[in-house]
């Protein structure tokens, strides 16, 4: 009886295994692509904390003269709400017998309106000025590496930068400009930015670097009623071809491009796994064509054509794929919904930035997955369907 039961239900069991295999492959694709979407959203949010909506840089060279004619051209563009001047360069900082090369970013007084950097301050003050005193905002990585104490008047931060003019000297005190400033606050925006950045008033940066009217960049705040891409086009037309204007996605394009490439190759890997799982569909249809050969002969004697026989087997494969895809899409979406709602799978970092794995489901991914599953299973069904029509006879 057991042998007879197995013989009678073997094809059905194989079909169920194929359906479950397609379902698990589909669910895995949903989860993995949603994870990459969540990482992209998280990284974009991190970068937006310190990246302006638009950033103007010179196309060739490092700096450019910022004169009133250029400022008037920018201010006359509709949608430009604020302009922040930036002087940025690598400097050496010393603190209590410790030293580190950092990226010093000198900004004008209105820098807080450009980004959310002032809201990321976790220690001390979020301003660069307090009465007549000037302060620096340091990244959390710089703060930890140097062991800083905020508003330390006994050991202020020492900024060293090679002199741009004058004769070279082996005496460091003569070859370098030196300025001191107290650390007033610590920010946590994005790990790479936090590890290497110190924000200072632009007057302090100018006195250290001797840039005079030179600027390395201009950060533009766009009015909420205007589109950043439209303002970018107007700026390029007004200021000429010597400058480049970058939107937020373009400022972080390398990281996002690397993430998209990794997402594409991961999708390809899981699609290959799904293709291997579809072999079960192939074997199930091949066995079904053998078992139902007598029934197909009866259908042909009743007038069925080879095309009709092929379509029956292709539709059978599509039914298995559709059942598995629906199961996989529902399972994958349920998993992502639970992770986004309850964050029950933790990264183990416990740093307040990325405590749980981020996920985000997008309908475009569901469409791509459905097309992938349909294509793979149809290819798996073509050969058994063709053989079934060929082997059957009137």
- Average pLDDT score over residue span 191-219: 92
**Nearest-angstrom CA–CA distance, 122 and 44:** 20
Q: Which two tokens stand for residue 97?
A: 């017998």
pLDDT-above-70 percentage for the chain: 88
Residues 324 and 316: beta-carbon distance below 8 Å: no
Rounded CA separation 72/118 (Å): 28
Whole-angstrom Cα distance, residue 228 to residue 53?
A: 7
Question: Residues with Cβ < 8 Å from 72, sequence gap 6 or more?
Answer: none
Percent of the chain with pLDDT over 90: 37
Mean pLDDT of 281-299: 71
**Mean pLDDT in residue range 297-323:** 76
- Distances from the Cα of 36 to the Cαs of 190, 326, 341, 369, 372, in angstroms? 18, 22, 17, 15, 18
Contact 22, 324 (CB under 8 A): yes
The answer to whether residues 158 and 180 touch, using CB atoms and an 8 Å cutoff, is yes
pLDDT band at 115 (very low <50, low <70, confident <90, very high): confident
Confidence at 278, pLDDT banded by 50, 70, 90: confident
Mean pLDDT score of the chain, rounded to an integer? 84
Provide the H-helix boundaries in 63-120.
68-75
Tell me the average pLDDT across 70-82.
91
> What would the mean pLDDT of 372-385 be, rounded to a whole number?
80
Asked if 275 and 377 touch (Cβ cutoff 8 Å), the reply is no
Per-residue confidence at 46, pLDDT binned at 50, 70, 90? confident
So where are the chain's domains? 2-47+255-391, 54-249
56 and 218 Cβ atoms separated by less than 8 Å: yes
pTM: 0.77
Q: What is the mean pLDDT of the segment spanning 282-286?
A: 74
Record the tokens describing residue 344, joined without a space: 């029950």
Between CA 22 and CA 17 the distance in angstroms is: 9
Say if CB 55 and CB 219 are below 8 A apart.
yes
């Amino acid at each position: 009886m057991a042998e007879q039961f197995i013989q009678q239900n073997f094809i059905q069991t194989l079909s169920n295994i194929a359906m479950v295999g397609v379902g698990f492959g589909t669910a895995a694709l949903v989860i993995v692509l949603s994870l990459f979407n969540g990482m992209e959203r998280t990284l974009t949010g991190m970068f937006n904390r310190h990246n302006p909506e638009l950033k103007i840089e010179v196309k060739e060279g490092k700096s450019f003269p910022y004169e009133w004619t250029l400022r008037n051209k920018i201010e006359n563009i509709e949608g430009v709400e604020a302009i922040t001047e930036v002087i940025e360069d690598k400097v050496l900082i010393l603190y209590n017998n410790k030293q580190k090369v950092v990226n010093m970013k000198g900004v004008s007084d209105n820098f807080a309106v450009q980004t959310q950097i002032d809201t990321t301050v976790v220690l001390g003050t979020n301003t660069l000025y307090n009465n007549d005193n000037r302060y620096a905002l340091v990244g959390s990585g710089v703060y930890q590496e140097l062991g800083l104490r905020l508003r330390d008047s006994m050991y202020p931060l020492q900024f060293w930068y090679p002199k741009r003019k004058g004769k070279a000297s082996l005496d460091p005190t003569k070859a370098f400009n030196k300025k001191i400033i107290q650390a007033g606050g610590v920010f946590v925006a994005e790990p790479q930015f936090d590890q290497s950045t110190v924000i200072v008033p632009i007057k302090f940066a100018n006195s250290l670097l001797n840039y005079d009217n030179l600027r390395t960049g201009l950060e533009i705040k766009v009015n909420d009623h205007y589109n950043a891409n439209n303002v970018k086009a107007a700026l390029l037309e007004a200021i000429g071809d010597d400058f480049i204007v970058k939107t937020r996605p373009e400022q972080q394009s390398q990281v996002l491009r690397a993430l998209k490439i990794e997402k594409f190759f991961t999708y390809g890997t899981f699609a290959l796994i799904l293709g291997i799982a579809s072999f079960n569909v192939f074997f199930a249809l091949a066995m079904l064509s053998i078992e139902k050969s007598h029934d197909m002969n009866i259908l042909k004697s009743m007038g069925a054509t080879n095309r009709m026989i092929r379509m029956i087997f292709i539709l059978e494969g599509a039914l298995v794929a559709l059942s598995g895809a629906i199961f996989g899409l529902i399972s994958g979406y349920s998993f992502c919904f639970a992770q986004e709602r309850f964050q029950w799978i933790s990264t183990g970092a416990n740093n307040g930035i990325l405590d749980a794995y981020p996920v985000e489901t997008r309908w475009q991914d569901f469409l791509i997955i459905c097309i992938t599953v349909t294509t793979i299973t149809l290819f798996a069904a073509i050969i058994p369907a063709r053989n079934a029509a060929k082997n059957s006879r009137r």
